[in-house]
């Protein structure tokens, strides 16, 4: 088995999570006795391979200073941007200031994805340790997919065996990821995750199968489900 590499982490957390229809950004909603982002940070902070972690926050974020983790000297901050790619690039810039090099691994993880299993993180690190590109956790699509036309009617049923649902963390070399994200932004290419930026730059990220319960909280029922899962 390939040894797990050391790595850096960026958590983009400048979004507002409008679909949650909550009174605060979704990463600050509570799951049990702590917020989602606190659970998310715990997925990484005690890992022996972690070299540094950056959270990219909105300038108007008044919730972060109220959290206990805001005083944790293992957590560094960067100014988040208008889009996810801007926030990740700001996080990468902060990592470089902390000593990260172009060849180092960077893991990008959603702030509102608090249920990452230690076994999934280990599998990602070990599987991609020597990969020339990097990759991401993902889950094969289980349900039948439908392609929909502008009138809301089905126009095709794609072969679901060809599709996976992209999760995080997504793991790439710092220099390659910075170049891909910066290039996509400069070209006006909309990228919804780091893998899509890498794809645009001509790379083929590898998919590593993870657990289906590593969900991103996007809608109120997602938080209800996680609350029930944790008892």
Tens-digit pLDDT profile for residues 9-44: 999 999 876 666 678 899 999 999 999 999 999 999
In the block, tokens 């995080």 appear at: 168
Structural domains of the chain, ranges and CATH numbers in brackets: 7-230 (3.90.550.10)
Mean pLDDT estimate for the chain: 94
User: For residue 10, what pLDDT is reported?
Assistant: 98
Closest alpha carbon to 135 in 98, 172, 107, 101 = 172
Strand ranges for the chain from DSSP E: 7-13, 30-31, 34-35, 50-57, 75-79, 105-108, 134-140, 147-148, 154-156, 164-173, 206-209
Confidence of residue 231 (pLDDT cuts 50, 70, 90): low
**What is residue 1's predicted lDDT score, i.e. its pLDDT?**
52
pLDDT attached to residue 208:
98
Is residue 95 pLDDT above 60, yes or no?
yes
Q: What is the pLDDT of residue 4?
A: 79
Q: Rounded mean pLDDT of 35-61? A: 96
User: Which backbone phi and psi does 81 adopt, to 5 degrees?
Assistant: -115, -175
Residues of the chain with pLDDT > 70, as a percent, come to 96
CA distance 75 to 64: 12
Q: Tell me, what's the pLDDT at 21? A: 65
Residue-level pLDDT at 41: 98
Q: Going by DSSP bridges, is the β-strand pair 30-31/34-35 parallel, antiparallel, or unpaired? A: antiparallel
Task: For residues 132-144, give the mean pLDDT.
Answer: 97
Contact call for residues 38 and 67 (beta carbons, < 8 A) = yes
Q: Answer whether residue 82 shows pLDDT above 60.
A: yes
What is the structure's pLDDT at 103? 97
How many other β-carbons are positioned within 10 Å of the β-carbon of residue 100?
A: 21
Whole-number pLDDT of residue 179? 98
pLDDT value of position 100: 97
Contact of 92 with 174, CB cutoff 8 Å? yes
pLDDT value for 22? 76
Per-residue pLDDT tens digits for 171-223: 999 999 999 999 999 999 999 999 999 999 999 999 999 999 999 999 999 99
């Amino acid at each position: 088995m390939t040894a797990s590499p050391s790595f850096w982490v960026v958590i983009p957390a400048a979004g507002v999570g409008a679909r949650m229809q909550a009174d605060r950004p979704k990463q600050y909603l509570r799951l049990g006795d702590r917020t989602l982002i606190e659970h998310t940070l715990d997925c990484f902070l005690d890992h022996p391979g972690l070299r540094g972690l950056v959270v990219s926050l909105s300038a108007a974020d008044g919730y972060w200073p109220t959290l206990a983790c805001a005083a944790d000297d293992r957590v560094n901050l960067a100014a988040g941007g208008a889009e996810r790619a801007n926030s990740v690039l700001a996080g990468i810039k902060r990592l470089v200031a902390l000593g990260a090099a172009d060849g180092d691994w960077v893991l990008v993880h959603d702030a509102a994805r608090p249920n990452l299993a230690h076994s999934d993180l280990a599998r990602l690190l070990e599987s991609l340790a020597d990969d020339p590109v990097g990759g991401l956790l993902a889950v094969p699509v289980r349900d039948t997919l439908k392609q929909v036309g502008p009138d809301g009617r089905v126009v095709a049923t794609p072969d679901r065996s060809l599709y996976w649902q992209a999760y995080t963390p997504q793991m790439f070399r710092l220099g390659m990821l910075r170049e891909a994200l910066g290039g996509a932004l400069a070209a006006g290419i909309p990228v919804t995750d780091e893998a899509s930026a890498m794809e645009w730059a001509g790379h083929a990220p590898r998919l590593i199968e993870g657990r289906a319960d590593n969900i991103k909280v996007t809608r109120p029922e997602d938080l209800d489900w996680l609350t029930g899962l944790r008892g």
